[in-house]
């Protein structure tokens, strides 16, 4: 019998339009333990049918809907419920770029005794500037993997015990809680696996390319100032208004 090795945690709020694409891409994975892998959708009070869309995959995935909140809260709630060796955190508006991504990530964790792995980001149906900015993100992520790792909540796989030992995502952080956590991972315990997570360009449409670039650089400049991440940078306000 194949043992449960992985739990997937997806924080979501009003993602009825995007979540099914992610869940369908999970269904398409060639990971051998997929049938016993729990998929926990941490719902933050959706009003658009997100919960129904998630449960509609119950015949193909071990989907459960749990109480969420801001992404850090939902991710932590899912991790606490997991009993597997590894936990994968995914944003609700992404898709896994190819059928072997989960398998390669788990194999890297297992064979290299890693604490955290991530992958590159691509923009689904994005324009030139969207592609350029995500290419820049991937380049910075690669550079960081040789100095101070960072990963985004679009795709972060953690060894569960290490995740809990680090304290999980900082639920007081109002910005870049995924960056805050991943930079605690030792360089030798971090890897970027081949493949890509595909996302939309809605962040750029809502905030603007210049605004997103400026927020990224401010994040890098405040790497060692944790208080910066606990202050409201206007991200959620602008996203929700967009």
User: In this predicted model, what pLDDT tens digit does every residue of 149-175 receive, in sequence order?
Assistant: 888 889 999 999 999 999 999 998 766
User: Domain 6-241 has what CATH class?
Assistant: alpha beta
> Is 31 or 199 the better-scoring residue by pLDDT?
31
Provide the pLDDT for residue 133: 74
Provide the pLDDT for residue 242: 37
Contacts of the segment 132-138: beta carbons below 8 A, 24+ positions apart: 133/204, 133/209, 133/212, 133/213, 134/199, 137/216
Helix axes 209-221, 128-145, angle to 10 degrees: 10
Find the mean pLDDT for residues 106-134: 86
pLDDT more than 90, % of the chain = 62
Q: Is the pLDDT of residue 131 over 80?
A: no
Q: Is the pLDDT of residue 239 over 50?
A: no
Provide the pLDDT for residue 240: 46
Alpha-carbon gap, residue 226 to 40, rounded angstroms: 29
For the chain, give the number of residues. 242
DSSP 18: T
* Tens of pLDDT, residues 132-149: 777 777 777 787 777 778
Domain range annotation of the chain: 6-241
Structure tokens of 7? 């739990």
């Amino acid at each position: 019998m194949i043992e449960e090795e992985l739990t997937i945690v997806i924080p979501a709020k009003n993602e009825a339009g995007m979540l099914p694409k992610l869940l369908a891409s999970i269904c398409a994975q060639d990971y051998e333990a997929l049938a016993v892998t729990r998929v926990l959708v941490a719902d933050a009070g959706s009003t658009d049918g997100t919960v129904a869309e998630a449960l509609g995959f119950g015949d193909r995935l071990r989907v459960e809907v749990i109480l969420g909140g801001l992404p850090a809260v939902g991710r932590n709630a899912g991790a606490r419920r997991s009993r597997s060796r590894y936990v994968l955190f995914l944003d609700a508006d992404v898709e896994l770029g190819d059928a072997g991504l989960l398998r390669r990530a788990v194999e890297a964790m297992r064979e290299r005794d890693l604490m955290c792995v991530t992958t590159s980001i691509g923009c689904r149906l994005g324009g030139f500037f969207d592609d350029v900015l995500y290419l820049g993100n991937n380049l910075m992520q690669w550079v960081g993997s040789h100095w101070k790792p960072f990963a985004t909540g679009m795709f972060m796989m953690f060894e569960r015990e290490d995740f809990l030992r680090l304290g999980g995502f900082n639920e007081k952080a109002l910005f870049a809680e995924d960056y805050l956590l991943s930079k605690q991972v030792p360089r030798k315990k971090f890897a970027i696996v081949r493949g890509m997570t595909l996302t939309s360009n809605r962040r750029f449409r809502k905030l603007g390319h210049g605004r997103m670039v400026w927020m990224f650089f401010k994040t890098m400049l405040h790497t060692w100032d944790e208080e910066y991440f606990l202050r409201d940078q206007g991200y959620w306000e602008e996203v929700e208004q967009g």
